[in-house]
Amino acid sequence: MRPGDLRSHRWYGGDELRDFSHRTRTRQLGINPEEHLGKPVIGILNTWSDINPCHMHLRERAEQVKRGVWQAGGFPLEFPVATLSETFQKPTPMLYRNLLAMETEEILRSYPIDGAVLMGGCDKTTPALLMGAISAGLPAIFVPAGPMLRGHWRDEVLGSGTDMWKYWDDKRAGLIGQRELDELERGLARSPGTCMTMGTASTMTAAAEVLGLTLPGASSIPAVDSAHHRMAAASGARIVGMVWEDLRIGTVLDERAYADAVTAVLALGGSTNALIHLVAMAGRGQVPLSLDDFDATARRVPVLANLRPFGEFLMEDFYYAGGLRGLLSRLTDLLHTDRTTVTGKTLADDLAGAGVYRDDVIRRRDDPVAAEGGVAVLRGNLAPGGAVIKHIAAQQDLLRHTGPAVVFDDYADLKRRIDDPALEITEDSVLVLRGSGPQGGPGMPEYGMLPIPERLLAKGVRDMVRISDARMSGTSYGACVLHVAPESHVGGPLALVRDGDPVILDVPGRRLELDVPDAELAARRAAWTPPPPKFERGYGALYSSHITQADVGCDFDFLARAGHNPEPDPR
């Protein structure tokens, strides 16, 4: 490309009134012509916020990205975009993933931007930024926020989320008291960055790297490591090169890239949320990807990353053991290493020299954590559209289980009754939560790791079969069947379950069945009444009118469909 070919030239390079106006207002910003004219304009989309601890260092990292852009001869412009804080936003940031995706797409489309640097990492931020960038179609590179440091309490190393659930149950069971809980509160999260377990954040930033959208090794670097500063600057420099090369995001993201992302997510034992997000991302590019692709890949990909919530180690250990590049170097026969990444080179080039330095953290192929990928897709009369379970993080004797249902109509009902002494429940019961899907939640909150009753915790029970149309945190664990589709709020079979109904879970057989005669289910369906809508106006009403189900990515139907929007005319 030449300077006159730049997209930003359409705003700045002509001799008409609007070009003069754009140049005038740029001088108002204190910017001289030689600083930006004829140079790639790089939009830096920054999800920094005072209320997002995962991203609290991104204000500083944006300055390092700008340094790289300037050094490579580009002109950076920073855009603050919505932050999706997993720890604070209610009912769930998943409700707003598509809102950030829309904002990303429209900012990139409507401003004089030639290429984009996308800065994020907290769970829903990564897919939201990437979905918007895919729809916009410009050159784009992703800068992951990076995981936080290990947690510590007394003589124990802690993993955020994972150990929070563990010790909260210990508190409910009477094994620890308020003093211990206060100490844990100060030790679980000790630095900027995302969860340091293989939760949704690290799963999705790893997926972004495997897709070819980050610099090699970027997703594993701890947030506070000086290598993270250098990566940010190098990413800023690289996006300038991508603009001149006209290396667009759609060129990188083909069917092979998504197949490799699925392989990597499964080898990492990654979050179940990745299934929803990757399906949605692929849909934006009209690349076919389904739950069945995950399940088929899981049967041939071993789990090599020995990371919590199911393993021993944390992301800091993973980084020093060789990081994602090290893990991928042990899977090259399962990857499409001849495809192009944002480096302009092939994945094989990006993996050159990668190695593993601790076999206990990143296992060998002949000594895996598990012989098959840790996620399974289930189907049956209870989940005709599919459901998922992270069986590697479950109590293994529960993976084939039949038990009577104990049904909760929504999360408020669950909280109110789970510890009621009158509740008829045993460790063999199957906890069923409905009203928690994309429409019913609303937003499909992370309710899927249903709490175990206190009286069972006190007896030493630490896992039970739990089924819901909700999601669960990638840091969670247990025999939790999630994402049941279609959800109960729209009349899915989960809406028909009653207390005492036998529920059959058969993970090896990939079955989820309600052992109730078809005629009885038909009678229940005829008597079922749709619940009222959750929203009457605003974004929530838009969401409710257009959100799709979990098996197809929970995108908005009007964003996922094929079609092209014209470039805006800045004149």
pLDDT tens readout for residues 432-443: 999 999 999 999
**Mean pLDDT of all residues in the chain?**
97
pLDDT above 70 as % of the chain: 100
Of 75 and 564, more confident = 75
Residue whose token pair is 């209870």:
382
Whether residue 409 is predicted with pLDDT greater than 90 in this model: the reply is yes
Q: Which amino acid is at 163?
A: D
Residue whose token pair is 């909150």:
445
pLDDT score recorded for residue 570: 61
With contact defined as beta carbons under 8 Å apart, do 289 and 555 qualify? no
- Residue 571 — very low, low, confident or very high, per pLDDT cuts 50/70/90? low
Give the span between the Cα atoms of 425 and 428, in whole angstroms. 8
With contact defined as beta carbons under 8 Å apart, do 31 and 56 qualify? no
- 3 state SS of 53: helix
pLDDT score recorded for residue 564: 87
With contact defined as beta carbons under 8 Å apart, do 348 and 337 qualify? yes
Express each pLDDT in 494-515 by its tens digit. 999 999 999 999 999 999 999 9
Q: How far is CA 236 from the centre of its chain?
A: 24
Residues 6+ apart with CB under 8 A from 16: 571
Give the span between the Cα atoms of 545 and 159, in whole angstroms. 38
The helix (H) or strand (E) run that includes residue 365 is none
Mean pLDDT, to the nearest integer, of 190-214? Answer: 98
Mean pLDDT, to the nearest integer, of 256-270? Answer: 98
Mean pLDDT, to the nearest integer, of 2-16? Answer: 96
Express each pLDDT in 21-78 by its tens digit. 999 999 999 999 999 999 999 999 999 999 999 999 999 999 999 999 999 999 999 9
- 3 state SS of 505: strand
Q: Is 469 exposed, middle or buried (0-12, 13-18, 19+ CB in 10 A)?
A: buried
Q: 70-101 as b/e, with b when 16 or more CB fall inside 10 Å? A: bebebbbbbbebbbbbbeebebbbbbbbbbbb
- Residue 569 — very low, low, confident or very high, per pLDDT cuts 50/70/90? confident
With contact defined as beta carbons under 8 Å apart, do 212 and 347 qualify? yes
Cis (ω within 30 of 0) for the bond into 40? no
pLDDT above 90 as % of the chain: 99
pTM for the structure as a whole: 0.97
Q: Is 14 exposed, middle or buried (0-12, 13-18, 19+ CB in 10 A)?
A: middle
Mean pLDDT, to the nearest integer, of 99-127? Answer: 98
- Residue 112 — very low, low, confident or very high, per pLDDT cuts 50/70/90? very high
Q: For the chain, how many residues are written?
A: 571
- 3 state SS of 175: coil
Q: Hey, what domains does the chain have and what are their CATH numbers?
A: 39-149+191-351 (3.40.50.2300), 152-188 (no CATH), 376-527 (3.50.30.80)
Whether residue 275 is predicted with pLDDT greater than 70 in this model: the reply is yes
For residue 479 the two structure tokens come to: 């025999």
CA–CA distances in Å: residue 41 to residues 14, 37, 98, 113, 430: 16, 9, 26, 5, 56
CA–CA distances in Å: residue 472 to residues 200, 384, 442: 10, 20, 14
pLDDT score recorded for residue 331: 98
Q: How far is CA 240 from the centre of its chain?
A: 27
